[in-house]
C-alpha cells in the first residue's frame, strides 16, 4: 500500500507492460519494456529496480533476462484502477483469508464500507515449493486463473443478488479483485450455538434451492462459506467462483454435496438433524 503512493504513472505503465507481455514471454526483457514505454533502457532499468525493491516484480532468471509481475504488482495495478475510477477511496485491514484469496475491508466514494476479495490462485504453491523460479515462470497462468475466478464469482452474484438470494451485493470487479457488500457477521463454522438451529438450517437450505432454481450451484459450500449475523439471525452464502449451472452433468451431485456439508455441520456442531419430511418440504422431490 505504501508503495502505491510513492510510484508515478511511469511505474504503473511499466507494470502494465509486464502484465500484457507476460502472456508472450517467460520473463519480459528490459528492452521490450523500454520499447513499449518509449523510454531509454537505463531509465527503464531504474524503474524496474524500484518496482523490484518494493516487491512488485520478480527477476526469476536474473535481472539481465528480464522481469515478471507478481501478485503484489497485480494488486497495485488493480487497486490503482479502482481508485482512479472513483470506486474505492481507501483500503483497510484484512478481514478474511481462505484457500485462494485474501479479503480486505475498504471504503467507497459513497462512504460505504465494502469487502474487497483479492484472488491468489497458486500463491500457496509460491510459498510451499523451493522451486520459486519455476513457479515465477508460469505465474501468469495462476494470475489468469485468479482473474477468471473473480469474473465467474461476479457472474454468480449478478444472477443471485437481484433474485433476493442472500449473497453479498456485487459492486465492481477489476482483474483478480472483486468488490462486494461487506457482511458484518461471523463464519458459521466459528459459531458454537444458536437459538433455533432448525430455522437457521432452513434459511441456508432455502437459499441453496433458490440459487439452484436461479441457475447456480455453489459447489464449495460449507460452514466456512456461510456468514451468520447473530443479531438478526440472517445468513449469507459467499464464495461462488466455482459455481456450475444446473444443466452441468454433475450439478445434482455438487448440490447434494453442498447440502450434505451443511447438514453435517448442523449435526456435529449444533446437534440438529432435520427429519426427512422437512427436508423434502424445503428441498422438493427432485432436488434431494
Among 67, 212, 224, 243, binds ligand ADP (CB under 6 A): 224
Nearer to ligand ADP, 194 or 226 (CB): 226
Neighbours of 90 (CB within 10 A): 10
Q: Which is nearer to Mn ion, 139 or 218 (CB)?
A: 218
Quote the longest CA-to-CA distance of the chain. Answer: 74
| Residue 187 interacting with ligand ADP (CB under 6 A) | yes
22 by Cβ neighbours in 10 Å (0-12 / 13-18 / 19+) ranks as buried
Q: How far apart are CA 84 and CA 99, in angstroms?
A: 29
Residues 6+ apart with CB under 8 A from 275: none
Site map (CB under 6 A) of ligand ADP, residues 113-152, x = contact: --x-x-----------------------------------
Our finding on whether 73 is near ligand ADP (CB under 6 A) is no
Contacts with ligand ADP, 82-101, as mask; x by CB under 6 A: -------------xx-xxxx
Q: Least separation, in Å, of the C-beta of 91 and ligand ADP?
A: 14
Q: Which residues lie near Mn ion (CB under 5 A)? A: 98, 225, 239
Q: What sign for the dihedral angle of Cα 195, 198, 201, 205?
A: negative
Nearer to Mn ion, 58 or 224 (CB): 224
**Contacted by 246, from Mn ion, ligand ADP, none: CB < 5 to 8 Å by type:** none
What's the rounded Cα separation, in Å, for the pair 233 and 218? Answer: 22
- Using rule CB under 6 A, residue 182 touches ligand ADP: yes
Find the helix packing angle between 30-37 and 9-21, rounded to 10°. Answer: 120
> Closer to Mn ion at the Cβ: 117 or 140?
117
H/E element holding 18?
helix 9-21
Quick check: 176 binds ligand ADP (CB under 6 A)? no
Q: Is the dihedral of CA 71, 72, 74, 79 positive or negative?
A: positive
The residue ranges that bind ligand ADP (CB under 6 A) are 95-96, 98-101, 103, 115, 117, 168, 180-183, 187, 224-225, 238-239
Amino acid at each position: 500500500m505504501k508503495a502505491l503512493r510513492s510510484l508515478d504513472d511511469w511505474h504503473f505503465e511499466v507494470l502494465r507492460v509486464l502484465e500484457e507481455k507476460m502472456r508472450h514471454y517467460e520473463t519480459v526483457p528490459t528492452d521490450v519494456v523500454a520499447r513499449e514505454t518509449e523510454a531509454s533502457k537505463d531509465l527503464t532499468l531504474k524503474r524496474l529496480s524500484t518496482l523490484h525493491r518494493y516487491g512488485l516484480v520478480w527477476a526469476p532468471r536474473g535481472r539481465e533476462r528480464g522481469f515478471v509481475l507478481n501478485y503484489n504488482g497485480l494488486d497495485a495495478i488493480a487497486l490503482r484502477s479502482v481508485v482512479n475510477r472513483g470506486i474505492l477511496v481507501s483500503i483497510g485491514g484484512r478481514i478474511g483469508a481462505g484457500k485462494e484469496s485474501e479479503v480486505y475491508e475498504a471504503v467507497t466514494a459513497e462512504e460505504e464500507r465494502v469487502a474487497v476479495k483479492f484472488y491468489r490462485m497458486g500463491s500457496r504453491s509460491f510459498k510451499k515449493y523451493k522451486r520459486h523460479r519455476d513457479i515465477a515462470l508460469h505465474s501468469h497462468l495462476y494470475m489468469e486463473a485468479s482473474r477468471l475466478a473473480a469474473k465467474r464469482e461476479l457472474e454468480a452474484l449478478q444472477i443471485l443478488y437481484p433474485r433476493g438470494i442472500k449473497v453479498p451485493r456485487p459492486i465492481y470487479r477489476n482483474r483478480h479483485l472483486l468488490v462486494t457488500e461487506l457482511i458484518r457477521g461471523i463464519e458459521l463454522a466459528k459459531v458454537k450455538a444458536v437459538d433455533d438451529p432448525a430455522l437457521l438450517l432452513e434459511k441456508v437450505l432455502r437459499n441453496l434451492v433458490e440459487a439452484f432454481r436461479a441457475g447456480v450451484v455453489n459447489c464449495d459450500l460449507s460452514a466456512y462459506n456461510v456468514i451468520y449475523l447473530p443479531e438478526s439471525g440472517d445468513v449469507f452464502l459467499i464464495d461462488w467462483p466455482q459455481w456450475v449451472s444446473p444443466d452441468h452433468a454433475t450439478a445434482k451431485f455438487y448440490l447434494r454435496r453442498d447440502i450434505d456439508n451443511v447438514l453435517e455441520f448442523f449435526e456435529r456442531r449444533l446437534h440438529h438433524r432435520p427429519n426427512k419430511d422437512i427436508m423434502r418440504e424445503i428441498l422438493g422431490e427432485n432436488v434431494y
